[in-house]
C-alpha cells in the first residue's frame, strides 16, 4: 500500500483548508455541537464525503451532516485510492502544523549524527515511557533525535502534571527527565511553560495514551517502539 500521506504541498493545503474560517453555512454546525455536546470547535471544513463536514474539536476530529443533525466519530477510507485513510491524512497535516508552536518548548535528546527527528508524547509515570527512555542512547545512536512533549495521562489537575511542569522548568530539563523516569524525586519548580498546551494538543490530534510517536510525515504511532523498529518506520516515510 502506498504511503497514506501526499506531498508537503498537499499537506499544507489540507491544513489551510481546515484552519480557514468556516463558511456561514458551517456556523450552525459549530454552534449546535458546542451547545449540545460541550465540545470546543476550532474549525469546520469540507470532508471527502459529500454531505458531511469535517469538525476539529478539543477532543479530536469528527464529522457532521451539513445541517448539524448527525454527528459521527469515524474513519474515512478512499476505496479508489488503495484504501487511503482520509481521516488520518488530514490529522497528519494538522499534527505537523500544530507541532510548530512547540518548536522551542520540547525536552530534546538530540542525536549527534541526526538523521531523523520524532516527537514523542510522554508521561513520566508511564512504564513503557520509562522503557523507551532507558533506551534513549539506542535511538540517538541510530541518528534519531527525540523531542519529548508532555502528556500527563492523569490530566491537568494531577501530581504527574505538576511533576512534569517541574521537569520542563528544571535548570537541566534533560537531567530532570531522566531522573523522573527513574522514579527519583525531582525538585519542585515553576516557570512559564507549555505542558498544558502540549497535553491539549495531543488530545486534539488523536493521542490517547503514552508513548505516542509522531513521525516526520505526521503519522502517529501509538505505543513503545524499539529503536530498530522505529528506524525502519522512519526509513519508510523519509
Q: Which member of 95, 126, 163, 204 is catalytic?
A: 126
Of 207, 148, 216, 151, residue with least CA distance to 177? 148
In the block, which residue shows the cell 464529522? Answer: 63
| Annotated catalytic residue 123 | yes
Residues 6+ apart with CB under 8 A from 190: 165, 166, 169
Bridge partners of 56, per DSSP, are 43, 61
Catalytic residue among 84, 95, 123, 217: 123
- Radius of gyration, alpha carbons of the chain: 19
> Of residues 84, 95, 147, 153, which has the active-site annotation?
153
| Alpha-carbon gap, residue 220 to 232, rounded angstroms | 15
Within 10 angstroms of residue 20's Cβ, the number of other Cβ atoms is 11
Residue 163 and residue 195 in contact, taking contact as beta carbons nearer than 8 Å: no
What length is written for the chain? Answer: 238
Cell of 152: 500527563
* β-pair type (84-85, 71-72): unpaired
Is 153 one of the annotated active-site residues of the chain? yes
- Name the active-site residue from 84, 129, 130, 217: 129
Q: Which residues are catalytic?
A: 123, 126, 129, 153
Amino acid at each position: 500500500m502506498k504511503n497514506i500521506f501526499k506531498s508537503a504541498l498537499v499537506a499544507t493545503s489540507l491544513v489551510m483548508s481546515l484552519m480557514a474560517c468556516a463558511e456561514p453555512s458551517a456556523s450552525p454546525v459549530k454552534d449546535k455541537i458546542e451547545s449540545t455536546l460541550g465540545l470546543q470547535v476550532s474549525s469546520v471544513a469540507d470532508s471527502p464525503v459529500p454531505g458531511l463536514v469535517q469538525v476539529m474539536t478539543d477532543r479530536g476530529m469528527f464529522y457532521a451532516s451539513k445541517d448539524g443533525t448527525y454527528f459521527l466519530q469515524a474513519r474515512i477510507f478512499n476505496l479508489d485510492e488503495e484504501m487511503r485513510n482520509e481521516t488520518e491524512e488530514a490529522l497528519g497535516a494538522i499534527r505537523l502544523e500544530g507541532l510548530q508552536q512547540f518548536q522551542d518548548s520540547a525536552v530534546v535528546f538530540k542525536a549527534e549524527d541526526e538523521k531523523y527527528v520524532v516527537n514523542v508524547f510522554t508521561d513520566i509515570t508511564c512504564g513503557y515511557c520509562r522503557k523507551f527512555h532507558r533506551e534513549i542512547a539506542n535511538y540517538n545512536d541510530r541518528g534519531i533525535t527525540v523531542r519529548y512533549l508532555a502528556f500527563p495521562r492523569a490530566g491537568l489537575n494531577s501530581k504527574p502534571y505538576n511533576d512534569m511542569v517541574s521537569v520542563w522548568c528544571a535548570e537541566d530539563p534533560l537531567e530532570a527527565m531522566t531522573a523522573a523516569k527513574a522514579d527519583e524525586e525531582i525538585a519542585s519548580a515553576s516557570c512559564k511553560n507549555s505542558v498544558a498546551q502540549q497535553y491539549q494538543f495531543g488530545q486534539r490530534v488523536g493521542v490517547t495514551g503514552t508513548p505516542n510517536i509522531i513521525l516526520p510525515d505526521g503519522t502517529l504511532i501509538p505505543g513503545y517502539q524499539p529503536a530498530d523498529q522505529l528506524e525502519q518506520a522512519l526509513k519508510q516515510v523519509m
